[in-house]
Chains A and B, each alone.
Chain A
Amino acid sequence: MEKYYAESHEWVMALDENTVVVGISDYAQHALGDIVFLSNAEVGDTVTFGERFGDVESVKAVSEILSPVDGKVVEVNKDLEDTPELLNAKPLETWIIKVEGKIDPSKLMTEEDYLALDKDH
């Protein structure tokens, strides 16, 4: 399935009609450096587009993760509790939360547009 990206460097991908998964981009994990801790949402939480649902902590800093979708969290990736470094190793295959909701492509970028974006300036 196709990934869509937010300006704040999260991706979202549809699994089926009503379910999406959310992760962070390769650029984001690279900019953060070694990720050492993830403070994640909980199952049942409501997430809102553009609002924080968790924090990712690297050796450099703590950064907020903003939701690229509206909806309700139905599952969190438990593997990340002990091995947050998966976000460094495989950012595009590692989802953080699974959400009951629908992607709104009008608020997001396609992968092609996101990769073409000048993110350093």
Chain B
Amino acid sequence: MSQLIFERSVPFRRAVRFDACDVPEVGLDEKYVRQSKARLPEVSEVDIVRHYMELSRYSFGVDNGFYPLGSCTMKYNPKLNEFTASLEGFTSIHPDQSLSTVSGTLELMDNLSISLSEITGMDAFTLQPAAGAHGEFTGLLLIRAYHNARNDNKRTKVIVPDSSHGTNPASASMAGYTVVSVPSNEMGGVDVEALKAVLNDEIAALMLTNPNTLGLFDPNICEISKLVHDIGGLLYYDGANLNAIMGTARPGDMGFDVVHLNLHKTFSTPHGGGGPGSGPVGVKSCLVPYLPHGTLIKETYGYRYIDERDTLSIGRMRSYYGNFLVNVRAYTYILSLGSDGLKAASQNAVLNANYMMNALKDTFPVAYPQTCMHEFVVSLADLKKETGISAKDICKALLDYQMHPPTMYFPLIVHEALMIEPTETESKESMDYFIQVLKDLKQLAYDDPQKILNAPYTTPVKRVDDVQAARNPILKFQHK
């Protein structure tokens, strides 16, 4: 690695020198004055530019290459989204200014909410939550408020399948619920008999991702939602995998009462370290009264926000009105694709995943080999047994081919799992390259395993010691 910005620092070097102050100085109250000087790096402008250019070369995003990170939907982010998000009318407003001065902004938020409601089959949306897990937490608080308002206080449990995203049980737990896990059946879906066995009047909700993390659509979803509703529970839809079904199937029609979406996945807004994200939550009409502060409501006279006057509301989930500019990007994506385009995006995502699954099935066993949706899971357990090369080792080796590895060791129910999601924005050529590289690496695992164990060779940091990092984490820079 090259130097840190602090290591480039030279005393008294500056990017900008201010003229001497020619107005009277105003002193601050002593308690606001720092006691020691801020230890900022002292660098020239070109030092700063080179620092950031170097960091950008060390990072890897979907603009750099193939990024088949399962369940993360790392699709290409169209640059048109950046154009609209940088329009001055959106960037030069302040959330505290009068609503009467931002009617275009309000209209965009309302139109986005209506579009998301239409896509998911829900009645209303809040654009408040900042990301997926925040949306989950919001959704669970809505569910709790719903049961509490009905004096139905016995419901202390939330059911999640064993293939769920880790955030589901975490969010349920954070919302004060006890988590009940249900196993998957041999087809990878929810084991309906096992579900029946845990359903009772203590169940607040079932959280489900459909298609699930195995990339499989649960064909029993209507029976599952009826079973949960029959005992008075609600259904929560984790929208992480919406990219498989847009325009074809709607969570609202499957019986879900609450939905969160990841605009940074399905709706092509920046993702990961390039965020921020956005995790809007959609609800059926029975949950509308509980929506959080800052949710836009259309009245006959215009727009208003849910606030302290709405006494049933779960309250404030974050400052102001959500990650607005992310929402502008998502709205741009929806308008630029249109309903036919959104449907085609999902269809191509599914087609790409099935193409890759079939091309790879003779190389690595597919965990659940039926037709998949937008992603699939292969197991490298046999490879590890025969060669000692693990899923992690293969992923490290992939870095040398300028590709991001798939999600690994998830879902937990598949040993040595690689979870592959190509998305619709990859060409056949880029998928074919990835497929060939995986085949070559498998061969190399038998011929020269040490070569894989030493990978990666071309990255700025070679093999990291993740065990040492987890046991003795160094989480911040410290001046010597």
Which residues from chain A sit less than 8 Å from chain B, CB to CB? 31, 34, 36-37, 57, 59-63, 85, 120
Contacts and interface: CB of A to CB of B under 8 A. Distances in A.
Contact of A61 (B381, B409, B467, B471): B409
A36 B415 contact: no
A82 to B, nearest CB: 9
B471 A36 contact: yes
Contact of B470 (A31, A59, A63, A120): A59
A120 B467 contact: no
A31 B409 contact: no
Contact of A36 (B166, B381, B392, B470): B470
B466 interface: yes
Contacts of A31: 415
A68 to B, nearest CB: 18
Nearest to A62: B166
A36 B467 contact: yes
Q: Which of A57, A60, A61, A85 counts the most B-chain CB atoms under 10 A from its CB?
A: A60
B407 to A, nearest CB: 12
Nearest to A64: B181
Interface string B206-240: 00000000000000000000000000000000000
Nearest to B411: A61
B466 A59 contact: yes
Contacts of B470: 34, 36-37, 57, 59
12 contacts: A31-B415, A34-B467, A36-B467, A36-B470, A37-B471, A60-B408, A60-B409, A61-B409, A61-B412, A62-B166, A63-B412, A120-B415
Contacts of A59: 466-467, 470
A110 B409 CA distance: 29
Contacts of B381: 120
The 10 closest A-B pairs by CB, nearest first: A36-B470, A60-B409, A34-B467, A59-B466, A36-B471, A61-B412, A59-B470, A61-B409, A59-B467, A120-B381
A59 B392 CA distance: 10
A24 to B, nearest CB: 16
Interface range, B side: 10 to 19
B172 to A, nearest CB: 15
A120 to B, nearest CB: 6
Interface in B407-430: 408-410, 412, 415
Contacts of A36: 467, 470-471
Contacts of A60: 392, 408-409
Nearest to B415: A120
B226 to A, nearest CB: 29
Nearest to B382: A120
A51 to B, nearest CB: 11
A89 to B, nearest CB: 13
Contacts of B471: 36-37, 85
Nearest to B390: A33
Contacts of B415: 31, 120
A101 B45 CA distance: 69
Contacts of B410: 61
B466 to A, nearest CB: 5
Contacts of A34: 466-467, 470
Contacts of B408: 60
Contacts of A120: 381, 415
Interface in B399-447: 408-410, 412, 415
B109 to A, nearest CB: 38
Contacts of B392: 60
A34 B469 CA distance: 12
A31 B414 CA distance: 11
Given A60-B392, A63-B412, 11 more contacts: A34-B467, A34-B470, A36-B470, A37-B470, A57-B470, A59-B467, A60-B408, A61-B410, A61-B412, A62-B166, A85-B471
A31 B381 CA distance: 10
Interface string B438-480: 0000000000000000000000000000110011000000000
With a 10 A CB-CB cut-off, give which of A34, A62, A63 has the most chain B CB atoms. A34
A57 B415 CA distance: 16
A31 B412 CA distance: 11
Contacts of B466: 34, 59
A98 to B, nearest CB: 25
A65 to B, nearest CB: 14
B458 to A, nearest CB: 23
Contacts of A85: 471
Nearest to B470: A36
A61 B415 CA distance: 12
Nearest to B412: A61
A24 B410 CA distance: 21
A36 B381 CA distance: 22
Contacts of A63: 412
A47 to B, nearest CB: 17
A37 B467 CA distance: 10
A29 to B, nearest CB: 13
A62 B466 CA distance: 15
A63 B162 CA distance: 12
Nearest to A84: B471
Among B408, B415, B470, residue most surrounded by chain A Cβ atoms (within 10 Å):
B470
